[in-house]
Amino acid sequence: MRQILAHSRNLARRLILSCLLAASVTIPAIASAKPMILATIAQLGEPMSRILGDCATVETLLGPGVDPHLYRLTRSDVAKALQADGLMANGLNLEAQMRDMFDRLSARKPVIYAGELLDPTKIVLTGGVVPDPHIWMDPRLWAEALAASAAAAAKAFPACVPSVAQNQAAVLAEIAAVDAYIEARVASLPPSARVLATAHDAFGYFGKRYGMTVLGVQGISTESEAGVAHIRDMAQTIYDRRIAAVFVETSTAARAVDAVIEGARALGAIVTKGPALFSDAMGPPGTYEGAYVGMLDHNATSVVRALGGVAPERGLNGRLNTARQVKDTSG
Ligand SMILES: [Zn+2]
């Protein structure tokens, strides 16, 4: 009897829930003219929320430390994506586990893939074949992707046209300022020290833009583990080229980097583990490093200082959290 009661209570609950869901889908369309746009990565969500300003609400799906290559949508993410009036993603296979869902939803609402709006000749191809999705690492290119995404959003939601016209220039000017800062700071490094060794191949666009050689312990996606032979080769390169620091990332595991550092030290290298860089995720929302410009400032300032160049401890805008800059010399 108790079971039957529980069963019917569940049924009733489910019925109420489905009514609520149906209601929540129709009410915003009638009552609120302000669209909600769901962005996957914060590198997209944070600047877009500023560019779109009051005309839309931009929510970011992936928080600090979350790896977009591996992330699978939860049930509440799916509910959010269903409720959203528009979706924004990087594309180019960054959000590998979300693509099917987003493509299916594109029949019902605008879905904007920022990286795929760029001139394809500007996309770096790994091994000449696979598009590198980490475009935000080149601020000039990311500014183009943001402007193209804003134009697409304004087309889909015409109420956003004045907001974009009003806000976009200021956001892009801040990005141009951090780009100039990074260029000047990297130039303070001796050419032989311009090597950026990190946990995975997220910094290809950064290396191309600022003239640094980039070495990733893992490949372009975090889906495949680094092999023993690759770790050994990388340790040898670090020793041979006298590379002073190898960097971990906030969204990937550190163990492969630890293995490389250990291997290089066994060969006699003097190498430190640099501060954790923001590769595929940013800092906590509301902090300086939780904004796109702050994330870039943190990365560039940390890298330049750890490799022996000149950069102010608190970065371009004097706002960096210095606790994040601490190098781990213990390995
Ligand atoms: Zn990545």
Domains of the chain, by residue range, sit at: 22-179, 181-325
- In this structure, the number of other CB atoms found within 10 A of the CB of residue 134 comes to 24
- How far is 233 from 239, CA to CA, in rounded Å? 10
Report CA(213)–ligand 1 centroid distance (Å): 17
Report CA(155)–ligand 1 centroid distance (Å): 30
Report CA(133)–ligand 1 centroid distance (Å): 7
* 181-325 matches 22-179 in CATH topology: yes
Residue 328 confidence (pLDDT): 58
- 117-165: pLDDT as tens digits: 999 999 999 888 999 999 999 999 999 999 999 999 999 999 999 999 9
Report CA(68)–ligand 1 centroid distance (Å): 7
Report CA(148)–ligand 1 centroid distance (Å): 22
Report CA(220)–ligand 1 centroid distance (Å): 6
pLDDT exceeds cutoff 90 at 316: yes
Report CA(199)–ligand 1 centroid distance (Å): 10
**Nearest-CA neighbor of 295 among 273, 329, 319, 326?**
319
DSSP of 262-295? HHHHHTT---EEEEEE-SSS-S-TTSGGGSHHHH
- Strand 125-126 vs strand 130-131: parallel, antiparallel, or unpaired? antiparallel
pLDDT exceeds cutoff 50 at 15: no
- How far is 115 from 195, CA to CA, in rounded Å? 26
Report CA(202)–ligand 1 centroid distance (Å): 5
- 214-271: pLDDT as tens digits: 999 888 788 877 788 899 999 999 999 999 999 999 988 889 999 999 999 999 999 9
Report CA(32)–ligand 1 centroid distance (Å): 36
* CATH architecture assignment, domain 181-325: 3-Layer(aba) Sandwich (3.40)
User: Exposed (0-12), middle (13-18) or buried (19+): which is 64, by Cβ within 10 Å?
Assistant: middle
Report CA(67)–ligand 1 centroid distance (Å): 7
Give the confidence band of 10 by pLDDT, cuts at 50, 70, 90. Answer: very low
Report CA(193)–ligand 1 centroid distance (Å): 23
Residue 134 confidence (pLDDT): 97
Q: Domain 22-179 adopts which CATH fold?
A: Rossmann fold (3.40.50)
Structure tokens at 238: 């670090």
DSSP of 135-154? GGGSHHHHHHHHHHHHHHHH
| 8-state DSSP, 112 | E
- 73-102: pLDDT as tens digits: 999 999 999 999 999 999 999 999 999 999
Residues whose CB falls within 8 Å of the CB of residue 222, separated by 6 or more in sequence, listed in order: 67, 69, 70, 200, 252
Report CA(28)–ligand 1 centroid distance (Å): 35
- How far is 295 from 39, CA to CA, in rounded Å? 17
Structure tokens at 143: 């500014």
| 8-state DSSP, 113 | E
pTM, full prediction: 0.88
Report CA(64)–ligand 1 centroid distance (Å): 14
Cβ distance 86 to 111 under 8 Å?
A: yes
Phi, psi of 126 (to 5 degrees): -80, 130
Residue range 167-187: mean pLDDT, rounded: 98
Q: What is the largest CA-CA distance in the chain?
A: 79
- Provide Rg for the chain, Cα atoms: 22
